[in-house]
Amino acid sequence: MCAAVLSEPDLTSIPAVPEHFRDGRFFNPGVPDHNFLQAIKWARTRQPGPWRAWISSTPGPKPPERVHGTTLRVTFVNHATVLLQTQSLNILTDPVWSHRVSPVSFTGPQRHRDPGLGFDDLPRIDALLISHNHYDHLDLPTLRRIAGTHAPVVFCPLGVAKLVRRAGLREVHELDWGQSQPWQQMRVHSVQAQHFAARTPFNRNRSLWCGWVLESESEAAGNIYFAGDTGFGDFFSSIGERFAPLRLALLPIGAYEPEWFMGPVHMTPEQAVEARAILDASIAIGIHYGTFALADDGETAPVERLQRTLRGRSDAGRFWILEEGHGREIP
């Protein structure tokens, strides 16, 4: 991999109107959107797997303030919230510390376990990566707390910056798929994902969803891929080819049942294993499971299914499940 030259963003290849935007809404190219009748069918036929009402846990140890050089330390907080520490930078993905992921505090999906790190134990956060506007990925109360104590730079997909600024965050870079922004000793790339966006029944797909690649100017530091929330697609091959070698991939493994309904927007554990292989990531870490009951897969089903899939594979050691709240260094 050649070292990245960090300069101003090159946006000349991005059309004024993206090819994945039509009639005021974004869409997944080649993938039919869910329709109202499908949603009604799922609601009427749901067979949710078991979840404990509350999963007792102890927060993990306080992370170091900084991790220097090319060492890469990852702390899985839970769901899609991950702390990345490398090159003296601290980066959080889709931070959520609220009890509910909902527009109101009295109803909607609620935690089945505490965050793996106490909010006050976070080191100084330099940047946030926001994948899309769903409440379990963009939590305004958490963003307000972060704005008040950390004031990081924020990277988000098209149409999301206004919402992020509402939380008091001022330095916000809003990017389309294929766009990038230099930051510190990295270039931050917005890459394609297969999902959807909505905060209310009336603004579906008015903003974009994406994954992120942190491309380091140091070859020894390697590149980091955060897939956000996504179904399985052929874009994994182009991401793997463009950003090789990937040192780390954060891949969602939960909220996939029933597959006939969730398949376009959430990967199964088997697909996540295939995605790691396509990306040729040195290490993959599973995210998006075990905290919020968002679909019909049970509390332990994603990890159990992932373990069955990896059993006997020669690359099984390259897909990790991390204990919540505990950091681990990536080779």
pLDDT at 35: 87
Q: Show the tokens assigned to 42.
A: 């799922």
Q: How many helices (H) and strands (E) does the chain have?
A: 7, 16
pLDDT at 105: 84
CA-based nearest residue to 253, from 279, 222, 229, 281: 229
pLDDT at 16: 63
pLDDT at 152: 98
* Rounded Cα–Cα distance for residues 196 and 207 (Å): 9
pLDDT at 319: 98
* SS3 call for 287: strand
Longest dimension (CA), the chain: 53
- Listing DSSP states for 78-96 in one string gives ETTEEEEEETTEEEEES--
pLDDT at 6: 36
CATH class entry, domain 53-330:
alpha beta
pLDDT at 12: 37
What are the extents of the domains in the chain?
53-330
pLDDT in tens, 236-271: 999 999 999 999 999 999 999 999 999 999 999 999
The ranges of the chain with pLDDT < 50 are 1-15
pLDDT at 242: 97
CA-based nearest residue to 191, from 137, 139, 141, 235: 235
* Rounded Cα–Cα distance for residues 237 and 216 (Å): 20
Measured CA to CA in angstroms, residue 271 lies from 89, 205, 232, 237, 321 at distances of 31, 24, 6, 13, 16
Strands 283-287 and 327-330 turn out to be unpaired
